[in-house]
Amino acid sequence: MLSAASELIPPATLHPSGVWFFNWAIPIVGSIFVVLAIADVIRRRRLTWGFLFLFNSLAVYWMETIGDWGQMLFYSPAFAEHHLLDWLPIKTPNDPLFMPFAYAVYWGVHALLVLWLSQWVSARFGWSMLKSMAVLAIPVNYLWDFVVEGTATAMGWWTYDPGIGPVLEWSNGGRITLLWTIGIMCTWPNLIAYWAGKPPIRGLNHFERFCRLDRFTVPKASSRRSGDRAEVGTLAVATKHSRLTKQQEFDDCLTTRSPFRGSASS
């Protein structure tokens, strides 16, 4: 196991600026994200997209230290640390306490950016959401990661030493890679989003089919809650319904449901 000996600490990370930002601001903002997501689940009485996205982002934070070891990333020892992962055979020398919260903030803000920009582009140019997200995903990914990691390496919060492939080095000696890992950060999240992100409208998505969830779902009888018409003799009488919420409209589009509950699966 790598130790945090002084000879392993890159000089650029010895005296970072604005340590309070990751020691305090990021955990506070990350906690707010978590509380809001849980409150939304309680209010809607279902596992929402936002909650599942946030939960999965937090759940994989522990793999960061292994990946950081492989990509030669070092965090400043000035940050508050945790020692929950000291049992790992390979890891980066320092494990900052802010890491789980940083995952919530990084991926939460990134997802909102891509979603809002895609909605704006769809409305502006008449594109489908799929086309908008396909066009925006990689440049937004790259720009967001460059802004975050560029700021972090320039401030001395972490650095790639020496880094893989071409790097940009700041005046303090901090380095950010320009292709690896920033390139993979532009690829695998979008691949996962395509593979597992499509809701079960007109069939299950790739990940659901891979996990054979079709064994636990049954076709949902089509229903049209709005615009129904009932014929009385030769007269067509329009039935009046209350306005549907977005969630009800979404549920009406689902083609499968769980046999273990009455409502549509999501």
- Predicted confidence (pLDDT) per residue in 25-47, tens digit: 999 999 999 999 999 999 988 88
Instruction: Show the tokens assigned to 150.
Output: 């560029």
Looking at the DSSP bridge assignments, the partners of residue 168 are 176
| Nearest in space to 203 (alpha carbons), one of 248, 126, 128, 255 | 255
**Residue, of 109 and 18, whose pLDDT is higher:** 18
- Predicted confidence (pLDDT) per residue in 95-134, tens digit: 999 999 998 899 888 888 888 898 899 999 999 887 888 8
Q: Which residues lie below 8 Å from residue 165, measured CB to CB, with a gap of 6+?
A: 177, 178, 179, 180
pTM for this predicted structure: 0.75
- Please, are residues 74 and 64 in contact by the beta-carbon 8 Å criterion? no
User: Please, which pLDDT band fits residue 229 given cuts at 50, 70 and 90?
Assistant: very low
- Please, are residues 137 and 114 in contact by the beta-carbon 8 Å criterion? yes
Q: Are strands 256-257 and 218-219 parallel, antiparallel or unpaired?
A: antiparallel
Determine the 3-state secondary structure of 72 from DSSP: coil
Q: What gap in Å lies between CA 264 and CA 266, rounded to an integer?
A: 6
**Residue, of 54 and 77, whose pLDDT is higher:** 77
| Nearest in space to 74 (alpha carbons), one of 179, 180, 174, 178 | 174
Hey, where are the domains in the chain? 6-196, 212-257
Q: What gap in Å lies between CA 163 and CA 85, rounded to an integer?
A: 23
- Predicted confidence (pLDDT) per residue in 1-13, tens digit: 344 444 578 999 9
